[in-house]
Amino acid sequence: MGFLHMRSIGWHSAREWPCGRHLFARFVRPKIAVLSLSSATRARISLKGVASMRLPHAIVASLSAAALLVAGGCRQGAKENSGAEVTNPRDYSYPLTTGKYTVIGIYTDDKNGEKAKTNAQDVLTAHPDIKVMVGLWAPNGPMAHSALQTAGKLGEVKVVAFDEWPATLQGIKDGEIYGTVVQQPFVFGYRSVEFLAAMKRGKDVKFPGDLLYIPTTIIKRDNVEKFQADIASILSDNGTSPAPMFADQDKSKPARVAFLTNSVDPFWTLAEKGCNLAARDFGVTCKVYMPTNGTTGQKQAIEEFITQNYDGLAISVIDPIGQADIINQACEKMNVITQDADAPNTKRKFYLGTSNYMAGREAGKLVKEASPDGGKVALFVGMLDVLNAQERALGVIHELMDKEIPAEFAAQKR
């Protein structure tokens, strides 16, 4: 069966899924860091702080089954079996067959590019008849493309991506990636600064349901060159200001705001360009901070913004539950909005960004176009803790199920 590396599945993922915890507690103990399985009758298990062991074939077989179940997203007591409405993709049992399509699993990589590629390679090994790979975060599409290139399967297996990484756009231009769902990070940045400045200056900034959705765009081979030209204009500081929504704010009143991303990524470079343009348009001081160490970095930045008496914060939330306390602390001191990824159960003012569920539906439509006869589909993402990842995955799955669009999303443009 070749090699299956547990690092490609992610011990992070194994901890999240109940069946993963059950199987690993039974067979291996939580000390395992890396599992390599080969066609040989024995496997080498590498442990943190424990000497490597050689295991008999029977246990290897058990471990192989455990690994594949974790990779595919096995879930004990899944809600769809009880008749309850599924609102989290973790609550489905995988592989999940719906009509012509079978979603074999959701594969996480902890935002590690090498791991993302290995995930795709492992899927190709375990499922040589896979039809479509869907990358739910920006790196996943290019990493799936790279895995297919290595395996000599470009064109045979279709790739659907998210966002506008240069490798994604080049793959579309070359006919090797089917399409991508792109957001508008430039607008995220621009509107965040505009709204935070307006609130500081006494404007009542509110939206229905405390949500402002910014439309996505589908990029395929017929429009990729124009889109690339638009991106180049933004990156060269020639982006066009969106029509202002609060143009009459008093620019003589100073405002200092912060835009906090969830990582360092080309996506956020486009958002930074929007922030900078809005800062000039509205006479605002804006600091864009891109943390390199996840929630720890975000917490440190928020504490700094509180100490330095910033007037507003726009944050892309990594962990909406685990970060609720620090976000609420900031809300006590300044106007806080979320962008890109929400924390709806905090005191933030509102969320602006993509409707990630509907973006997932758009990706699902691309899957249907790319493979109209159905087949196996795999989803890849950095982390499933993040709300936008959950919503995108659910949107793809619901589109493949041909589920009716929920009422709260039905009015949105598709």
Q: What's the confidence (pLDDT) of residue 67?
A: 44
Q: Which of 206, 273, 284, 267 is nearest to 240 (CA)?
A: 273
Domain that holds residue 225: 185-353
Query: 52 versus 66: which is more confidently predicted?
Result: 66
pLDDT score of 309 more than 50: yes
In a domain, 144, yes or no: no
Helix (H) or strand (E) holding 134: strand 130-135
Q: What's the confidence (pLDDT) of residue 409?
A: 80
Q: What's the confidence (pLDDT) of residue 407?
A: 83
pLDDT score of 125 more than 50: yes
Chain segment 57-95, per-residue pLDDT in tens: 444 444 443 444 444 444 433 455 444 577 899 999 999
pLDDT score of 302 more than 70: yes
Domain count, the chain: 2
pLDDT score of 284 more than 50: yes
**Tokens for 259?**
């835009």
**Tokens for 336?**
């806080």
Q: What is the mean pLDDT of residues 115-125?
A: 98
In a domain, 398, yes or no: no
Q: What is the mean pLDDT of the chain?
A: 84
Q: Are residues 191 and 60 in the same domain?
A: no
Asked if 285 and 279 touch (Cβ cutoff 8 Å), the reply is yes
Of 12, 45, 76, which residue sits at a domain end?
Answer: 76
Residue 239 DSSP symbol:
P
Q: What's the confidence (pLDDT) of residue 83?
A: 46
Of 353, 373, 392, which residue sits at a domain end?
Answer: 353
Of 301, 324, 353, which residue sits at a domain end?
Answer: 353
Q: What's the confidence (pLDDT) of residue 30?
A: 34
In a domain, 276, yes or no: yes
Q: What's the confidence (pLDDT) of residue 411?
A: 66
Query: 19 versus 376: which is more confidently predicted?
Result: 376
In a domain, 17, yes or no: yes
Asked if 72 and 379 touch (Cβ cutoff 8 Å), the reply is no
In a domain, 114, yes or no: no
Q: Are residues 191 and 328 in the same domain?
A: yes
Q: Are residues 200 and 348 in the same domain?
A: yes
In a domain, 402, yes or no: no
Residue bearing tokens 């006494």: 202
Q: What's the confidence (pLDDT) of residue 85?
A: 72
In a domain, 169, yes or no: no
DSSP 28-53: T-TTEEEEEE-SSSSEEEEETTEEEE
Which pTM was predicted? 0.75
Chain segment 198-256, per-residue pLDDT in tens: 999 999 999 999 999 999 999 999 999 999 999 999 999 999 999 999 999 999 999 99
Chain segment 138-191, per-residue pLDDT in tens: 999 999 999 999 999 999 999 999 999 999 999 999 999 999 999 999 999 999
Q: What's the confidence (pLDDT) of residue 5?
A: 36
In a domain, 332, yes or no: yes
Q: What is the mean pLDDT of residues 264-287?
A: 97
CATH number of the structural domain spanning residue 221: 3.40.50.2300
Instruction: Band the pLDDT of 402: cuts 50, 70, 90.
Output: very high
Helix (H) or strand (E) holding 380: strand 375-381
